[in-house]
Amino acid sequence: MRVRIPLEQSLRLLTPGPVVLASAAHRERFTLTPIGWTTPLSARPPLVGLVVRPDRFLYELIVASGEFGLSIVSEQEAAALFQCGVISGRVQEDKFTGCGLRAVAAQRIGAPMVAEALAHLECAVLRLAEYGDHTLFVGEVLLAEADERAFDGWWGASERRPLHYLGGNRFAALGERFEVG
């Protein structure tokens, strides 16, 4: 039997997707924010979509710098990721330290990345568009790297697997991978 889902919960039907810690920097300011809404947009060139509310400090820094980083984390970083969503980058000068994470320098962008992450995507903004109460940033992937123990061309190569956001304070880790055919 199917049940009707309230429209405000309808987007959870498209979840889970890997939750990321998105980072951006401009001048001496930087921030780190958990984002559950990301998506691949193109393979050639590699493009990703990052959806951010305009009232977020992250939004301000991405607009000012024209770039952002995505750190894909595992279940081990779930508490730190959740804490990053509780504190504001406008108030907490160093959210990495405030969340118990270590920053590592990116190679192609100015924003720091999460050292503990399974993978990093460094992106340059190509365009942005407002949709309802959020903005979609289209980013070209300039550099991608992953822990070879966790990603061998596909996720699920090790016990450390990407964390997925289900909504609210609920998360899941990627399950067992399998092949068909």
pLDDT, tens digit (0-9, with 9 covering 90-100), for 107-159: 999 999 999 999 999 999 999 999 999 999 999 999 999 898 888 888 877 88
Confidence check: pLDDT of 79 > 70: yes
pLDDT reading at 171 higher than 70: yes
98 versus 4: the higher-pLDDT residue is 98
Confidence band of 35 (pLDDT split at 50, 70, 90): very high
Higher-pLDDT residue of 29, 156: 29
87-106 as b/e: b if 16+ CB within 10 A: eebeebeebbebbebebeeb
Q: Residue 2: left if φ>0, alpha if ψ -120 to 50, beta else—which one?
A: beta
**Is the per-residue pLDDT at 68 higher than 90?**
yes
| CB 176, CB 156: distance < 8 Å | yes
pLDDT for res 11: 64
Q: What is the pTM of this model?
A: 0.91
pLDDT of 19 > 80? The answer is yes
Q: What is the pLDDT of residue 4?
A: 83
Q: Locate the DSSP E strands across the chain.
A: 20-26, 29-35, 38-42, 47-52, 67-72, 103-104, 113-114, 119-131, 134-146, 163-167, 170-173
Matching CATH number, 18-147+159-173, of 1.10.760.10, 3.60.10.10, 2.30.110.10, 3.30.43.10: 2.30.110.10
Decide which of 152 and 22 is more confident: 22
Q: Is the pLDDT of residue 105 over 90?
A: yes
pLDDT at 124: 98
Residue 15: which pLDDT band, with cuts at 50, 70 and 90? Answer: low
Q: Is 166 helix (H, G, I), strand (E, B) or coil?
A: strand
**Confidence tier at 16 by pLDDT (50, 70, 90):** low
Calpha distance 135→164 (Å, rounded): 21
